[in-house]
Amino acid sequence: MSYCVGISTKYGLAFMSDTRTNAGLDDLSQFKKLFTWGRSDDRLFTLLSAGNLATTQAVVSEIDQDFKSKKSQLHRCKSMFEVAEFVGQKLSQKVKQHSENGINGESTFQANLILGGQIKGSKPSLFLIYPEGNFIEATEDTPFFQIGEIKYGRPILVRAYRRDLSMKDIFKLLIVSFDSTLKANLTVGFPLDFQIYFTDTIKSGVEGRLNANDPYFVDVSNAWSRGLEDLLLRLPGLTLSEEVNKQKE
Amino acid sequence: MSYCVGISTKYGLAFMSDTRTNAGLDDLSQFKKLFTWGRSDDRLFTLLSAGNLATTQAVVSEIDQDFKSKKSQLHRCKSMFEVAEFVGQKLSQKVKQHSENGINGESTFQANLILGGQIKGSKPSLFLIYPEGNFIEATEDTPFFQIGEIKYGRPILVRAYRRDLSMKDIFKLLIVSFDSTLKANLTVGFPLDFQIYFTDTIKSGVEGRLNANDPYFVDVSNAWSRGLEDLLLRLPGLTLSEEVNKQKE
């Protein structure tokens, strides 16, 4: 499993991914799942991947090759929609190709991708790409996508996301969502890769890698734990003991 | 899907379950998943169920019948361990029986149970019973069990549980865990049934049913949402904009 989140906000896009890949419980490896391609004058794409590693690596390779070639399709795309179509096509081709070679069904080779970025002249866009190559785009109603082990980290995103949160606060939100997942599931693991993209800059804003002992991550995680315990105690309480006493009468 | 939690604390046991059952997305029904059997002088058992409804109803029926009969095994059990063995046996029998009659494998008919309670003279106990009929008991290291759609509501339990929380706070914790799940997943639904058992009382302490518009539930849910947003904003922040400015220099 993996855990990746892409978020669209008023100020741009934010991405975070873990780096753990596992085949069974005793075969853990570390692989990057956040990739960026850019041409400084007019386009920047970021990709997050979850699912079969051979599939996602093959897709990333294809994008790499295209982006470097003289006849690059990705350089000629006029919108992020066209980029998503290109990536979706590569993904479904790889899933199909791998499953035709094997004895298993397609599901083994499936992967999901989150694609975000901006081409100069249009707005930043964020897409969720399915193994079949089709995709959906983030809107104000559904402003973030998660792939991989999505459930543990979802409640806080659902509750606390607001479109006008600063990137600083969005970054905290991502950390809390990942921390909740890391605390509950062994198949999601450190380090975490992140990238923050500010609208119309056409370049990676802030990017980096957080380790388990990163002082900022530890600070946020501890402050969140303490804060949640505090918050719980301050919630309105039912006077259970009184009801019990009533029942005893 | 369902969502049920049983928690063991210093002061007793607490149980909560949703009441939604679904066969597909368009076939939703409401069924009770929290059951209690008691004999006021010496024993009280509470059962939570998730999984195939035909299986769990059959198990509940068997327990009912036994509990009412003159030769009841459950009345003669000397420990909660024996009660868990009885319930586990009934569960595995039903799973096996239903799958032998059908064309599908066993998994379709599987169910998981949480059993808690106390027999006078011993401590309150809490068990997680698997479809195979075997079971594990809660300890100080693993003081709560979840069954059904467990992931959304797990992070808050992991973070905020403490063995010495008052039952009032444990009740809030359950509400928050269920609210997180209800907000994220359609297969878990209102109303919620709950029961709180205080050690050595050998009777149900507080029990009841919460609807979506229950004023207390709405209060807690709103206070939690506001509190989380607040807490997020108060977390330590990285000065992302400064880093971006640095990069621009």
Q: What number does CATH give the domain B3-248?
A: 3.60.20.10
- How many helices (H) and strands (E) are present in chain A, helices listed first? 6, 12
Question: Which amino acid would we find at residue A196?
Answer: I
- Residues in B closer than 8 angstroms to A241, CB to CB, are 167-168
- Residues in B closer than 8 angstroms to A220, CB to CB, are 235-236
Instruction: State ipTM.
Output: 0.87
Residue B228's H or E segment, with its range, is helix B215-234
- Residues in A closer than 8 angstroms to B171, CB to CB, are 237-238, 240
**pLDDT of A176 higher than 70:** yes
pLDDT digits (tens, 9 = 90+) for B186-240: 889 999 999 999 999 999 999 999 999 999 999 999 999 999 999 999 999 886 6
pLDDT digits (tens, 9 = 90+) for B152-196: 999 999 999 999 999 999 999 999 999 999 998 888 999 999 999
Topology, domain A3-235: Glutamine Phosphoribosylpyrophosphate, subunit 1, domain 1 (3.60.20)
Q: What is the mean pLDDT of residues B23-45?
A: 89
**Which pLDDT score, from 0 to 100, does residue A177 have?**
97
CB–CB of B227 and A231 under 8 A? yes
Q: What is the mean pLDDT of residues B54-59?
A: 95
**pLDDT of B59 higher than 80:** yes
Q: Where along chain A do its domains lie?
A: 3-235
Of B48, B72, B71, nearest to B60 by C-alpha is B48
CB–CB of A236 and B224 under 8 A? no
**Which pLDDT score, from 0 to 100, does residue A108 have?**
80
Mean pLDDT score across all residues of chain B: 91
How many other CB atoms are there within 10 angstroms of residue B154's CB atom?
23
pLDDT digits (tens, 9 = 90+) for B119-137: 999 999 999 999 999 999 9
**pLDDT of B245 higher than 60:** no
Strand partners, B39: B43
pLDDT digits (tens, 9 = 90+) for B95-112: 998 888 766 666 678 999
pLDDT digits (tens, 9 = 90+) for A177-224: 999 999 988 889 999 999 999 999 999 999 999 999 999 999 999 999
**pLDDT of A30 higher than 80:** yes
**Which pLDDT score, from 0 to 100, does residue A238 have?**
81
Name which of B151, B198, B207 to mutate to probe chain A: the one with the most chain A Cβ atoms within 10 A of its Cβ.
B151
Answer for the pair B205, A240: CB distance below 8 angstroms, yes or no.
Answer: yes
Question: Which amino acid would we find at residue A142?
Answer: T
Helix residue spans in A185-214 (DSSP H): none
How far is residue B50's CA from residue B143's CA, in Å, rounded to a whole number?
Answer: 19
**pLDDT of A153 higher than 60:** yes
**pLDDT of A245 higher than 90:** no
Closest-CA residue of chain A to B195:
A240
- Residues in B closer than 8 angstroms to A218, CB to CB, are none
**Which pLDDT score, from 0 to 100, does residue B104 have?**
62
- How many helices (H) and strands (E) are present in chain B, helices listed first? 6, 12
Full-model pTM: 0.90
Of A167, A184, A241, the CB nearest to B240: A167
How far is residue B101's CA from residue B209's CA, in Å, rounded to a whole number?
Answer: 36
DSSP 8-state assignment for residue B102 = S
Of B79, B56, B161, nearest to B125 by C-alpha is B79
Categorize the per-residue pLDDT at B244 as very low, low, confident or very high, splitting at 50, 70 and 90: very low
Of B158, B223, B231, the CB nearest to A235: B223
**pLDDT of A148 higher than 90:** yes
